[in-house]
């Protein structure tokens, strides 16, 4: 029976529903909110969120010390999460690629793997489930072309996950898109691809739509149309003047994409929200003084923006009121609470690229 219909028929007050949900284990709550939009809304509401079970969060990044990945935990309920992905087969040959809404994508190979074969594996660090994807065959010339691969998963939209593999022919742009769908268990080639764009790493998947930052300072939008159907793709402009995501990032709140940009002086971070339901309109959410956050104002170290800036915003979570940034001068990973103005050190000797992680306890498709 539809859980939303049960909730409506029972006519329970929101406060009572939240009180009931607050007593269930957080793993069960994670599963419940994936099947009931009303309960999902509670977890995004600042008034109710503090009363509900705390879902483990963290920041994932790839490693160069022989291990696959490292999870920098931001929660206490993370004892069962394998942030090093040690449960995966072929562990010594894995390369961390991407992370999306609780799932992780890795590339793997063996000593016998042909150079023109690309193999991926998708896993869930919280449940320690994993799934191997079929082989694909990228362009054998790494100088003339490159592949950029993104994982797409949003349990509040669909139980299925997708993998987008872009072949980028330098310097012309993307010339092929291969898409893996977990329900079809196969790769399909998008024969309708028609955009000559080059893409950067910043990307985000929310509500069935993949957003990718382009070299030209736009956002490439790929809207999922269903299994076996190529995604509809087009580009949209950034809000206002041509700001860049070079030192900013994507995030999401209440099912909407958010982008944090930096003004040319580097002393202000500006957060915009994109309403994909109303002609992709941008709206200003907030402005954050980086002078107040870091206690200094010497951010830009040359006269040519944006060649070098003293910090890099790596993750955004406005539902919890946090931005996460790397201080490139002190080499520290920091969190800044925009509601209280509190700056906290998370880690010394950090890296510059992190991906935000929220644990997911739903069963891995397939």
231 assigned to some structural domain: no
Say if CB 356 and CB 341 are below 8 A apart: no
Most confident range (mean pLDDT) of 32-41, 152-161, 263-272, 304-313 is 152-161
273 assigned to some structural domain: yes
35 assigned to some structural domain: yes
How far apart are the C-alpha atoms of 198 and 8, rounded to whole Å?
Answer: 47
Q: Could you tell me the residue range of the domain that residue 278 belongs to?
A: 243-351
Give per-residue pLDDT as tens, 316-327.
Answer: 998 888 999 999
Strand bridging mode 69-73 / 57-62: antiparallel
Which residues does 112 contact at the CB level (< 8 Å), separation at least 6?
none
Picking from 30, 53, 76, the residue at the C-terminal end of a domain is 53
Q: Report the alpha-carbon angle 97-250-25, nearest 5.
A: 75
Select the more confidently predicted residue: 6 or 337.
Answer: 337
How far apart are the C-alpha atoms of 212 and 23, rounded to whole Å?
Answer: 39
Q: Quick one: which of 214, 178, 180, 209 has its CA closest to 195?
A: 214
Q: Quick one: which of 44, 1, 89, 105 has its CA closest to 320?
A: 44
107 assigned to some structural domain: no
- The number of domains in the chain is 2
Say if CB 200 and CB 190 are below 8 A apart: no
Give per-residue pLDDT as tens, 58-115.
Answer: 999 988 766 788 899 887 767 788 999 999 987 768 899 999 999 999 998 777 667 6
| CA dihedral of 225, 260, 302, 349, whole degrees rounded to 10 | -100
Percent of the chain whose predicted confidence (pLDDT) is above 90 = 34
Which residues does 32 contact at the CB level (< 8 Å), separation at least 6?
3, 21, 24, 39
Select the more confidently predicted residue: 244 or 223.
Answer: 223
pLDDT (0 to 100) of residue 3: 46
Picking from 20, 37, 53, the residue at the C-terminal end of a domain is 53
Predicted confidence (pLDDT) at residue 50 exceeds the cutoff of 70: no
306 assigned to some structural domain: yes
Predicted confidence (pLDDT) at residue 30 exceeds the cutoff of 70: no
Say if CB 253 and CB 241 are below 8 A apart: no
Predicted confidence (pLDDT) at residue 27 exceeds the cutoff of 90: no
pLDDT (0 to 100) of residue 173: 77
Predicted confidence (pLDDT) at residue 226 exceeds the cutoff of 90: no
359 assigned to some structural domain: no
Question: Longest C-alpha distance within the chain, in Å?
Answer: 63
Say if CB 164 and CB 224 are below 8 A apart: no
Residue pointed to by tokens 């150079």? 115
How far apart are the C-alpha atoms of 247 and 242, rounded to whole Å?
Answer: 14
Percent of the chain whose predicted confidence (pLDDT) is above 70 = 78
166 assigned to some structural domain: no
Which of the four pLDDT bands, split at 50, 70 and 90, describes residue 340? very high
Which of the four pLDDT bands, split at 50, 70 and 90, describes residue 328? confident
208 assigned to some structural domain: no
Q: Report the pLDDT averaged over residues 248-274.
A: 87
Q: Quick one: which of 166, 178, 271, 142 has its CA closest to 214?
A: 166
């Amino acid at each position: 029976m539809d859980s939303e219909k049960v909730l409506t028929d029972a006519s329970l007050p929101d406060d009572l529903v939240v009180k009931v949900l607050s007593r269930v284990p957080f793993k069960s709550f994670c599963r419940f909110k994936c099947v009931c939009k009303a309960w999902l809304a509670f977890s995004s509401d600042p008034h109710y969120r503090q009363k509900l079970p705390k879902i483990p969060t963290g920041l994932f990044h790839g490693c160069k010390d022989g291990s696959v990945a490292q999870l920098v935990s931001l929660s206490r309920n993370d004892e069962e999460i394998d942030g090093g992905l040690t449960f995966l087969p072929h562990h010594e040959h894995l390369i961390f690629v991407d992370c999306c809404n609780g799932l992780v994508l890795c590339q793997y190979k063996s000593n016998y793997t042909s150079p023109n074969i690309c193999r991926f594996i998708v896993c869930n660090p919280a449940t320690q489930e994993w799934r191997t994807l079929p082989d694909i065959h990228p362009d054998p010339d790494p100088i003339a072309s490159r592949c950029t691969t993104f994982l797409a998963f949003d349990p509040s939209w669909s139980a299925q996950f997708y993998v987008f593999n872009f072949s980028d022919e330098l310097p012309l742009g993307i010339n092929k898109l291969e898409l893996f769908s977990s329900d079809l268990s196969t790769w399909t080639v998008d024969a309708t691809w028609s955009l000559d764009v080059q893409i950067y790493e910043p990307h985000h998947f929310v509500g069935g739509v993949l957003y990718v930052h382009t070299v030209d300072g736009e956002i490439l939008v790929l809207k999922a149309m269903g299994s076996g159907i190529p995604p509809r793709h087009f580009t949209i402009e950034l809000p206002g003047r041509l700001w860049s995501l070079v030192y900013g990032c994507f995030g999401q709140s209440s099912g909407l994409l958010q982008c944090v940009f930096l003004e040319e002086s580097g002393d202000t971070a500006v957060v915009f929200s994109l309403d994909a339901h109303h002609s992709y309109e941008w709206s200003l959410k907030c402005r954050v003084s980086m002078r107040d956050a870091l206690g200094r104002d010497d951010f830009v170290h040359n006269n040519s923006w944006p060649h070098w800036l003293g910090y890099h915003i790596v993750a955004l979570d406005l539902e919890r009121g946090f931005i996460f940034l790397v201080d490139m001068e002190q080499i520290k990973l920091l969190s800044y609470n925009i509601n209280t103005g509190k700056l906290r050190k998370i880690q010394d000797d950090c890296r510059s690229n992190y991906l935000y992680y929220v644990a997911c306890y739903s069963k891995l498709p397939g």
